[in-house]
Chain A
Amino acid sequence: MALRKIEDLHLLDREYDLAIIGAGPAGMAAAAQAAAAGARTILLDENPAPGGQIYRSIERNSPARRAFLGNDYWKGKGVLKAFLQCDAAYLSQALVWSVEQGETDGKASVELRVSAGGKSSIVHARRVVFATGAMERPMPVRGWTLPGVMTIGAAQIALKSSGLVPDGRVVLAGSGPLLYLFADQLLQAGGNLVAVLDTTPRSNWAKALPFLPPFLVSSYLLKGLALLAKVRRSVPVFTGVGTIEVIGQDRATAIRFQAKGRTEEIDIDSAFLHQGVVPNNSLANATGCLLAWNDRQKCFQPELDTHGRSSLPAIYVAGDGGGIGGALVAEVGGRIAALAACLDLFPEKTRQIGPLLAKHEKRRRVLSRGRTFIDTLYQPAVAFRAPTDLETIACRCEEVTVGAIRDAAARNVVGPNQLKTMLRCGMGPCQGRMCTATITEILADVQQRSPADIGTYRLRTPIKPVPLREFASLPFTPDAVQAVTGDHSDRS
């Protein structure tokens, strides 16, 4: 058995039992599990190769050539192998830009609009799993839009996929497990790392301590401590960093920050920022899945049952896109969601699927140990979630400042969607991905309401810009024609 790589939209089947969106650990594991359970399965992924971000370029990389990527990365080889050997279809470089619920023969089904190779097409599936992964939480600081400033995730992607190391003097700034992991990878790859600025609030340690016992048995503890010690031996590490500003005219030339009550400035060629990751929930949001605020991880995530069923029939969410848990939890979560979908599709297979589900749920509980400690320790400082520097840009696309948002918030704007119409924040090409977290937290801060109450932007499809000619090439439903033309006849 082998994966069927599809080269063109026209070669897709008319209908699948299960469509999976995203080829990271959750998506790859879901595809393998669903295919093994007998579901006609297709995986659609926007990237050129499987792996998602965490296992980016896992097919091409080898420990012999890029050993510094580390053992946690090479674990991706296992899930990749199972995916490549499974009886599913796979279309890469395919953007699913809309998912609509429908009915086939009186039963729930979904219609996916997919763009690939400059064309769009409709794919029908009885069930769909969103395995859309995580994205980095924005870290709005003054100067963060300057060339020479990127996210730490971006630097790691460049290293994994193209063997690129930043040239010249590099500073890493932020908080979260990736900060020290990437510092170590960068040093091993020969990067000139001149400082690490750790923004983890000191008070987080006291808050996290009660959750330490379960973390002590997690495999991450020793690795984390060893990494910290290793990086500290090689590079100056500033802890308790409170404010950060990147300085430069047309590109970043220095970084200024406060640590231990002193203001420091370091000359740089590039700076990489990171404040942890949040679910990449654009597709779930635009499809209409209910979202819920996770106050420990400070993000919105789809409301799911323990098996990944969303608030909408036929739609499931697996992996970090449904709540941050890391690669191994995502992998097992992909299996669980795929099995749940198969259970709903084939009730006659309950006897085979039930025990498998129970086994993977147990495994997930083991892998999730210590998560509360990590979440609490690395909860980003409020200064980076709800910035107060009025000149800092919050919405990068439409260049809306923190000052403009705070001003509007003080005038009792009712929520993020009204803010959009007033200021255009969230209306640029990123469709709010880079500012939605900041907008919610600033509104909550100014109006003294909970982020859950403030809510998030209501997204619409297409979830990414699609050329009009691709739109126009698709068949329209009578309802859609009537919505635009007001014409009741069914001439279309």
Chain B
Amino acid sequence: MFRRIDKTADTVAITFDGIPMRVDIEQTVAAALLSQGISTLRTSVVCDRPRAPYCLMGVCFECLVTIDGIQNRQACMTVVRDGMAISSQSGARSLDEGC
């Protein structure tokens, strides 16, 4: 959905739903995924409809993902780190997963 207009020198390795990718450092998980052409990060909790980051400033909670086993992390407020494992969320959360 987005493309980069300039490059920074350093990258880190992350995975999204198991797919490995290299992304620029010093950016949020949401921005990193958008730059890889990934916008749908979850499905909604009531009607199971696709949702994507919306505000990118921490107020809308549309970009909730599971990061390193912890659910409902705001992708737009979390900075990428080398080795980070990110996964999409489908519908409502459950208590027996990481919380």
Complex Cα distance, B32 from A162, in Å, reads 8
Using A164-B3, A429-B61 as known contacts, say yes or no to A46 and B39 having CB atoms under 8 A apart.
no
- Minimum-distance CB pairs A-B, first 5: A147-B52, A154-B56, A164-B2, A429-B61, A162-B31
List chain A residues, Cβ under 8 A from B37: 167
* A468 and B1 contact, CB distance less than 8 A: no
Interface string of A336-372 (1 = CB under 8 A from B): 0000000000000000000000000000000000000
**Which residue from chain B places its CB closest to the CB of A397 in the assembled complex?**
B61
> Within 8 Å of chain B (Cβ to Cβ): is A48?
yes
Cβ–Cβ < 8 Å partners of B4 in chain A:
162-165
Closest residue of chain A to B52, judged by CB?
A147
B15 within 8 Å of A (CB atoms): no
Query: B54 near A166 (CB under 8 angstroms)?
Result: no
Q: Contact flags (1/0) for A212-241 with B, using CB distance below 8 Å? A: 000000000000000000000000000000
Task: Please tell me if B6 contacts chain A, counting CB pairs below 8 Å.
Answer: yes
Q: Which one of A46, A65, A135, A429 has the highest number of Cβ atoms from chain B below 10 Å of its Cβ?
A: A429
Contact partners of B59 in chain A: CB under 8 A = 135, 280, 430, 433-434
CB-based contact B46/A158 at 8 Å = no
Q: Assess the A145–B77 pair: CB atoms within 8 A.
A: no
Q: Which residues of A contact B53 (CB under 8 A)?
A: 150, 154
Query: Is there contact, CB below 8 Å, between A165 and B72?
Result: no
A164:B34 contact, CB within 8 angstroms: yes
Cβ of B1: which chain A residues have Cβ within 8 Å of it?
Answer: 147-148, 166-167, 269-270
Chain B residues within an 8 Å CB radius of A251 = 39-40, 50, 52
Contacts of A429 in B (CB 8 A): 61, 64, 72
Interface membership of A106, Cβ < 8 A: no
Q: Which of B53-99 contact A (CB under 8 A)?
A: 53-62, 64, 70, 72, 74, 77, 79, 99
Interface-centre pick from A136, A147, A162, A467 (highest chain B CB count, 10 A): A162
Judge whether B46 and A399 touch: CB under 8 Å. Answer: yes
Give which listed residue, B32, B57, B70, B74, contacts A154 with CB less than 8 A. B57
User: Which residues of B (16-43) have their CB < 8 Å from a CB of A?
Assistant: 24, 26-28, 31-32, 34-35, 37, 39-40
Give chain A's interface residue range (CB within 8 Å of chain B): 35 or more
By the criterion CB–CB under 8 Å, are A165 and B3 in contact?
A: yes
Additional A-B contacts beyond A135-B59, A145-B62 (20; CB < 8 A): A48-B28, A136-B55, A145-B44, A146-B50, A146-B52, A147-B39, A147-B52, A154-B53, A164-B3, A165-B2, A165-B4, A167-B2, A251-B40, A251-B52, A396-B60, A399-B44, A429-B61, A429-B72, A433-B59, A467-B99
**Contact status of A167 and B56, CB under 8 A, knowing A251-B39, A397-B45:** no
Contact assessment for B50 and A250 in the assembled complex, using a CB-CB cutoff below 8 Å: yes
Instruction: List chain A residues, Cβ under 8 A from B3.
Output: 164-165, 167
CA distance A93 to B58 in the complex (A): 12
User: In the assembled complex, how far is the CB of residue A402 from the closest CB belonging to chain B, in whole angstroms?
Assistant: 15
A433 to B57 alpha-carbon distance, docked (Å): 12
CB distance A151 to B5 under 8 Å? no
Say yes or no: B2 contacts A158, CB within 8 Å: yes
Interface string of A265-279 (1 = CB under 8 A from B): 000011000000000
Whether, in the assembled complex, A60 has its beta carbon less than 8 Å from a beta carbon of chain B, the answer is yes
Q: A167 vs B39: C-alpha distance in the bound complex, in angstroms?
A: 12
Q: Min CB distance, B20 to chain A, in Å?
A: 20
- The answer to the question of A157 belonging to the interface, with a C-beta cut-off of 8 Å to chain B, is yes
29 cross-chain CB contacts under 8 A: A46-B77, A47-B77, A48-B26, A48-B79, A65-B6, A66-B6, A145-B44, A147-B1, A150-B53, A150-B55, A154-B57, A163-B4, A164-B5, A165-B2, A165-B4, A166-B2, A167-B2, A189-B5, A250-B50, A270-B1, A280-B59, A397-B45, A398-B46, A399-B49, A430-B59, A430-B61, A433-B59, A433-B61, A467-B70
Given A148-B39, A434-B60, answer yes or no on A154-B55 (Cβ-Cβ < 8 Å).
yes
* Chain A nearest CB, measured from B13 CB (Å): 18
Q: Which residue of A lies closest to B2 (CB)?
A: A164
B9 within 8 A of A: no
Task: Establish whether residues A53 and B57, one from each chain, have CB atoms under 8 Å apart when the complex forms.
Answer: yes
The answer on a CB contact under 8 Å between A161 and B27 is yes
Instruction: Confirm or deny: A78 has a beta carbon within 8 angstroms of a beta carbon on chain B.
Output: no
For A148, the chain B residues whose CB sits under 8 A away are 1, 39, 52
Which residues of A are found within 8 Å of B40, using beta-carbon distances? Answer: 147, 250-251
- Chain A residues with Cβ below 8 Å from B6 are 65-66, 163
In chain A, what residue has the closest Cβ to B41?
A: A147
Cβ-defined contact, B28 with A161, below 8 A:
yes
Q: Are B72 and A465 in contact (CB under 8 A)?
A: yes
Contacts of A250 in B (CB 8 A): 40, 50
- For A464, the chain B residues whose CB sits under 8 A away are 58, 74
Chain A residues, Cβ within 8 Å of B32: 162
Task: Check A153 for interface membership: any CB of B closer than 8 A.
Answer: yes
